[in-house]
Structure 1
Amino acid sequence: MASEGATSGGSLEDRISKPTEAKPDEDQAKASFTDGASETLNGSKLQEPEYDVEVKLSDLQADPNNPLYSVKSFDELGLDPRIVQGIVALGFRKPSKIQERALPLLMANPPTNMIGQSQSGTGKTAAFVLNILSRLKLDTPEDQKTPQALILAPSRELARQIGGVVKEIGRFLDGLEVAMAVPTEGKRPPRLEASVVVGTPGTVTDLLKKRIFIANKLKVLVLDEADNMLDQQGLGDQCIRVKGMLPKNIQLVLFSATFTPQIREYAAKFAPNANEISLKQEELTVEGIKQFYLDCADDKEKYNVLVKFYGLLTVGSSIIFVQTRQTAAEIERRMVAEGHTVASLTGGVEGSKRDQVIDDFREGRAKVLITTNVLSRGIDVSTVSMVINYDIPELHTPGQGRKADPQTYLHRIGRTGRFGRVGVAVSFVSSREEWQMLMDISKYFDTHIEALQTDDWDELEKKIKKTIKNPRSRADYTSTAQ
């Protein structure tokens, strides 16, 4: 099976300009009424901040005064009543700000490409799912078994989560089938038979090549966390390869919380003549999450402090982010040996075991999860009250020394402090170099990261517990709109 990170030659820009030519697993993931799991699986409810949405139309003649340029209710979109029933059942009473602007553009005919930039928790997943469901033809058993839409995500966990969203919003649509195209230990069916396919790029490439996935009737391709998908060379190659095996007139939809200028250029080549919709850049901040750092003498002290943190980590649920699989495995081994209950999930864990780990974490059977950046994006578990950056996220640029990665920091700490809830992020630094990287991140987002003193541990615990337990005021999560 194709690796999710295989690489090929040539620059990403060249490969985007010149693309190459080529029964699902049962998914236990439940739905979302925001960007993640359902309320029963501890997904977070949509309580969006106030913000302005910028729209850049590919057609300069487009009329902003058209009544469908922006909508205030789902009824205005002319959706199938069964789809409206599904979205309302998940807690949406009216479109979010992003949905108000995105949905009329996404659902217009003839279909137009879209590049969307929107924070997690603002309803972007529901937006592209509504577009997909509105375009499905489910009249006959043959229609129901024919893939008509494909959603690509960078990780197995996010793909399963999105699959749950599709199932729940479309729960009243007779004949809707959702197939998961993620790595599996079992034997593949001879044919992927479902109207919507959600998967990871490497597995989808493999299934297309083997003709298990027949794509000639596809109408929509969505890339979620698109900046990550196009920025990582292996994933970017595979996304381009997948696109080259799909119908030429397919609607291309790219969504992410962040886009660097360079990746936005690449995205524009991947999805030409796209409408663009985004939050204003100054609103993509880390406000609303209380950020701290701890100065540790060395790696040994980092681990000792982490062990002392265990009582705080289990106040709610917590995620510990590390740089490598080896570090994750070592921390898990040592903490378990000392009698602490922790779980670990990295790219090295395969298939059903990964599903079990994330499901245990969602449902509260595991309170502390150690992971690499594989879970830094998109995963929505509302009980997460703390994120630990055991290692500062850094960019890998050969020959340029260690450099901070602000975007990954933003995505990591965004796993806590879901809208309306308090979140705490604590970063460990054990060298001058790591401290400088964290200060660079602080400067990048123009935000304050407060030092925690370890000379009085009782006072430190009291401070963090008080932060976690205080309900966030509306001012905290609307401050960026002022």
Structure 2
Amino acid sequence: MSENVDWSKYVSEQEKLVTNKLATVNIDQNAQPSTGASGHKPKLGNDEEQFSPAEVSLLQKIIRNGLVENKNDLEVQRRDPTSPLYSVKNFEALNLRQELLKGVYGMGFNAPSKIQEAALPTLLAEPPQNLIAQSQSGTGKTAAFVLAMLSRVNPNDKYPQVLCLSPTYELAIQTGEVAAKMGKFCPDIELRYAVRGEELARGSRVEEQVIIGTPGKVLDWATKLKVFDLRKIRVFVLDEADVMIATQGHQDQCIRIHKNINKDICQMMFFSATYDQEVMEFAEVIVTNPVIIRLKREEESLDNIKQYYVKCANEQQKYNAVINIYGTVGAGQVIIFCHTRRTATWLSEKMSKEGHAVALLTGDQTVEQRISVLDRYRNGQEKVLITTNVLSRGIDVEQVTIVVNFDLPVDVRGQADCETYLHRIGRTGRFGKHGIAINLVDGPNTEAICRAIETHFNKKIQFLNAEDADEIDKIGA
């Protein structure tokens, strides 16, 4: 794959920009939080984690890359009973161009991931099939749709045939990097970024077959400058759809772009990390008669997790409970979730002073620091990982046996955040193994939150006396 500029140098420069941007992200305590898709501004404490949806998405991509093995099963829904739905176990079965196959193997892919197994046969089928796929970062969805994009290009046609929309500059660059690596041996396929800093004169024409960009810039190029024809687009990819919805203006821009595309010749691919009602309503506007692929919900993992609560009077008693439980059960690895960076830092320092091998992961660390922390934890160099919600959905570590909610998760109204609770304790009990979740309750309010969570999942959370070593010993049996 080539461009009019030095492609490898361009990607390298953009990758540095992405890393530098994330590496310098610190939480501005005086900044006004951004408005989400619901229109409500979340109320944050002085040191709570604050990320935009796009920052979270990019962070998850970077953290999960090379660190996460997602083994969740997929469920596939067929709208069209005649669609050629099957899965592949190797890339040779896809009958790819040899140049593309060489690029795939050159990226280190030896076999398709679960989302790739299910999605690629549909994406590459003839006639083309529309697809809606839900899969979190790190599961291989970007490589799946990029491979489909490049496979659909006719190199002899020197005009845009593939359009991929990302919600931000940084995420577009990430996708472009994947495309560059995968298309390394396809010099006849060219790519163009439609992002900030890329300017075109009115009357000029885009000849590159693949455009990766942000909705505002793409809309400007196509409808105002008219440098390419949306009606000739054969593949339309909407990536990070949940982030699109949460980003002001992007949803409307995507719909305006979509209205100008010829649906009779264009294959629609819609990817999102979440699958809630708002995302699906948006998807149904964009994609007609789709095959739907989604990760199965994780509630099943609660069946493998013993849930307990411990009554505590204050932070010191909560700390004592953590030490008693960790010292008695003889756990493999532990994740402790705190509500704020202040609490996480305090707990980390206190445990470290008492000789425990502790890792700390919070939002004010650089990307490099976070990756180093996670790598050391996965390798077992630290047995205890203390973190905030930045990791509640971030990583699967097979050796985790105990999750401790030092602070129970609450939403912006102070009510039980059951979804976050599910993702937190889902860090243990992975892959069919048994896990333990400990919830520290320090007053009537947190006890009410614990009961609300118990009611929501209809799963008993049992009382545990953390001062009774014999009782603690039983939970690890």
In the superposition, the TM-score normalised over structure 2's length comes to 0.61
1:297 and 2:313 matched:
yes
| Offset of residue 84 of structure 1 | 10
Residue identity over aligned pairs, in percent, reads 31
The secondary structure found in structure 2 opposite 1:416 is coil
In the aligned structure 2, how far is the partner of 1:366 from the partner of 1:103? 38
Of 133, 136, 139, which aligns to 1:116? 133
Structure 1 equivalent of residue 225 of structure 2: none
Structure 2 counterparts to residues 76-155 of structure 1, below 5 A: 76-79=93-96, 82=101, 86=105, 92=111, 96=114, 101-108=118-125, 114-117=131-134, 125-136=139-150
1:447-474 CA distance string (max 9 Å, x none):
233332324224413532x3xxxxxxxx
Cross-structure match for 1:321: 337
Query: In structure 2, what residue type is equivalent to 1:463?
Result: I
1:344 matched residue in structure 2:
360
Return the letter of the residue paired with 2:277: P
Q: How many residues align?
A: 392
1:371 maps to which of 373, 387, 391:
387
| Alignment partner, residue 82 of structure 2 | 65
Q: CA deviation at 1:272?
A: 7.5
Displacement, 1:300?
2.8
Name the aligned partner's letter for residue 444 of structure 2: R
Amino acid at match of 1:253: F
- The CA distance in 1 between the partners of 2:268 and 2:284, in whole Å, is 13
Secondary structure at the aligned position of 1:395 is classed as coil
CA distance in 1: counterparts of 2:127 and 2:275, whole angstroms: 27
Are residue 361 (structure 1) and residue 377 (structure 2) matched? yes
- Does the C-alpha gap of structure 1 residues 432 and 251 become closer, same or farther in structure 2, counting only changes over 3 Å? same
Alignment of 1:192-271 (within 5 A): 220-223=237-240, 226=242, 229=243, 236-237=247-248, 252-256=269-273, 259-266=275-282, 268=284
Amino acid in the other structure paired with 1:130: A
Q: Which amino acid aligns with 1:318?
A: V
Per-residue CA deviations over 1:246-302 (Å, capped at 9, x if unaligned) read 99769553333x544345435545778754334676966633233322222333311
1:157-180 deviations in whole A, cap 9, x for unaligned? Answer: xx9xx99x969xx7896589xxxx
- In the alignment, the residues of structure 1 paired with residue 331 and residue 111 of structure 2 have an alpha-carbon distance, to the nearest angstrom, of 30
Code of the aligned partner of 1:349: Q
Partner of 1:276: 292
Unaligned runs of 5+ in 2: 1-20, 41-58, 188-196, 199-209, 219-227, 262-266
2:472 aligned residue: 460
Contact 2:123 2:130 in 1 (8 A): yes
2:415 to 403, 426, 445: 403
2: CA distance between counterparts of 1:240 and 1:290? 41
Does the CA contact (< 8 Å) of 1:319 and 1:370 recur in 2? Answer: yes
Q: For residues 88 and 10 of structure 1, what CA distance do their matches in structure 2 show?
A: 36
Q: Mark the CA change 1:360 to 1:150 in structure 2 (over 3 Å): closer, same or farther.
A: farther
- For residues 409 and 460 of structure 1, the distance between their equivalents in structure 2, rounded to whole angstroms, comes to 22
Following superposition, the deviation at residue 407 of structure 1 comes to 1.1
CA distance in 2, matches of 1:110, 1:298: 63
Kept in 1: contact 2:147–2:182 (CA 8 A): no
What SS does structure 1 have at the residue aligned with 2:302? coil
Offset, 1:108: 4.7
SS at match of 1:424: strand
The aligned counterpart of 1:21 is none
Instruction: After superposition, give the CA deviation of every residue in 1:55-98 in whole Å (9 maximum; x if it has no partner).
Output: 253xxxx4x234x23335555543456379749986758x74x6
Unaligned runs of 5+ in 1: 14-26, 177-189, 199-203, 209-215, 467-482
Supply the distance in 1 between the matched residues of 2:38 and 2:415 (Cα, whole angstroms). 22
Q: What is the alpha-carbon distance in structure 2 between the residues aligned to residue 125 and residue 239 of structure 1?
A: 25
Tell me the secondary structure at the aligned position of residue 286 of structure 1: helix
Cross-structure match for 2:444: 432
Equivalent-residue separation in structure 2 for 1:355 and 1:283 (angstroms): 28
Distance in structure 1 (CA, Å) of the matches to 2:102 and 2:452: 45
Structure-1 separation of matches of 2:290 and 2:448: 39
Partner of 2:201: none
RMSD: 5.5
Cα deviation, 1:378-400, whole Å, max 9, x if unaligned, reads 42332322221111111113xxx
User: Which residue does 1:286 correspond to in 2?
Assistant: 302
CA contact (8 A) 2:102 2:185 kept: no
> Corresponding residue for 1:7?
34
Q: CA deviation at 1:406?
A: 1.4
The answer to whether the 8 Å contact 1:319/1:369 transfers is yes
Q: SS where residue 294 of structure 1 aligns?
A: strand
Match of 2:77? 55
Amino acid across the alignment from 2:145: N
Could you tell me whether the CA contact under 8 Å between 1:37 and 1:44 is conserved in 2?
Answer: no
Question: Helix, strand or coil for the counterpart of 1:340?
Answer: coil
Distance between the aligned counterparts of 1:411 and 1:112, measured in 2? 32
SS at match of 1:136: helix
Maintained 8 Å contact 2:441/2:447:
yes
In structure 2, do the counterparts of structure 1 residues 281 and 197 end up closer, same or farther at CA, with 3 Å as the change threshold?
same
Deviations 1:106-147 (A, max 9, x none): 4457876644346x7xx982355223224237999xx9xxx9
Contact kept, 8 Å, 2:361 with 2:373, in 1: the verdict is: yes
1:421 matched residue in structure 2: 433
* Counterpart selection for 2:455 from 435, 438, 443: 443
Alpha-carbon displacement from aligned partner over 1:327-380 (angstroms, at most 9, x marks no partner): 212222322333333222222223432332223223333322211111111423
Contact 1:219–1:251, Cα closer than 8 Å, also in 2: yes
